[in-house]
């Protein structure tokens, strides 16, 4: 099964499953039911999600990333300050996820288990990497990793703020995000100066 076909089938199953998540949460049984509803057999389902729920929720995160990048196609990062580029990326992702807010909340129950930290960290890193790449970052050294680590932390903390934000325009989330980005940029400057003198 080709990669593009796997992604297409995965998205179809996930979109169907998302219609059930608000009531039942993320479970393998729900994914199996969604798979049956879209006409996908069990063998193909396991081909698409070999690690079951880890791959399911990683796929959900990937859907959000792709929707974010699609939305960002209508913005020119060169016309924006760096901090505004980063903010635009994070907000674009949350704007797509807004319709699946409870599904995100339910996913935290799965990811909160300590031994799953490496998998969720990988997903968050990928989101941060997409945002920085779109923003025009082409660093290959220490800065490449530092920027993505710091932005990963911003995404995590802002996710919790977003889940508590009941406003339709995500006003509270945007204020929180702006403050976090400001803090991170100040920290990044401190780290840069420290590296210069070390």
The per-residue pLDDT for range 36-67, each reduced to its tens digit, is: 999 999 999 999 999 999 999 999 999 999 99
In our burial notation (b when 16+ CB lie closer than 10 A, e otherwise), range 153-185 reads: bbbeebbebbbebeeeebeebbebbeebbeebe
pLDDT bucket at 190, cuts 50 / 70 / 90: very low
Q: What is the pTM of this model?
A: 0.91
Report the pLDDT value the prediction gives residue 198, as an integer from 0 to 100. 35
Comparing C-alpha atoms, which of 107, 157, 161 is closest to residue 128? 157
Mean pLDDT, to the nearest integer, of 78-94? 95
**Percent with pLDDT over 70 in the chain:** 93
Mean pLDDT of the chain: 91
Residue 157 has pLDDT above 50, yes or no: yes
Q: How far apart are CA 49 and CA 41, in angstroms?
A: 12
Report the pLDDT value the prediction gives residue 31, as an integer from 0 to 100. 96
Residue 81 has pLDDT above 70, yes or no: yes
pLDDT tens-digit series, residues 7-43: 999 999 999 999 998 777 899 999 999 999 999 999 9
Q: How far apart are CA 141 and CA 154, in angstroms?
A: 21
Task: Identify the CATH number of the domain defined by range 53-197.
Answer: 1.10.357.10
């Amino acid at each position: 099964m080709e990669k593009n076909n796997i992604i297409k089938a995965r998205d179809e199953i996930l979109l169907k499953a998302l219609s059930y998540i608000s009531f039942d949460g993320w479970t393998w049984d729900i994914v199996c039911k969604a798979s049956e509803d879209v006409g996908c057999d069990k063998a193909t389902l396991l081909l698409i999600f070999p690690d079951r729920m880890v791959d399911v929720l990683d796929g959900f995160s990937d859907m959000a990333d792709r929707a974010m990048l699609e939305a960002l196609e209508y913005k020119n990062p060169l016309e924006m300050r760096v901090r505004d580029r980063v903010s635009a990326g994070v907000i674009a992702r949350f704007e797509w996820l807004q319709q699946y807010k409870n599904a995100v909340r339910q996913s935290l129950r799965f990811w909160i288990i300590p031994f799953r930290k490496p998998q969720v960290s990988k997903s968050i890193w990928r989101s941060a990497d997409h945002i920085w790449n779109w923003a025009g970052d082409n660093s290959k050294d220490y800065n490449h990793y530092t920027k993505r680590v710091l932005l990963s932390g911003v995404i995590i903390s802002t996710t919790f703020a977003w889940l508590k934000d009941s406003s339709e325009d995500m006003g509270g989330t945007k204020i929180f995000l702006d403050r976090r980005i400001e803090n991170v940029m100040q920290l990044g400057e401190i780290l840069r100066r420290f590296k210069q003198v070390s």
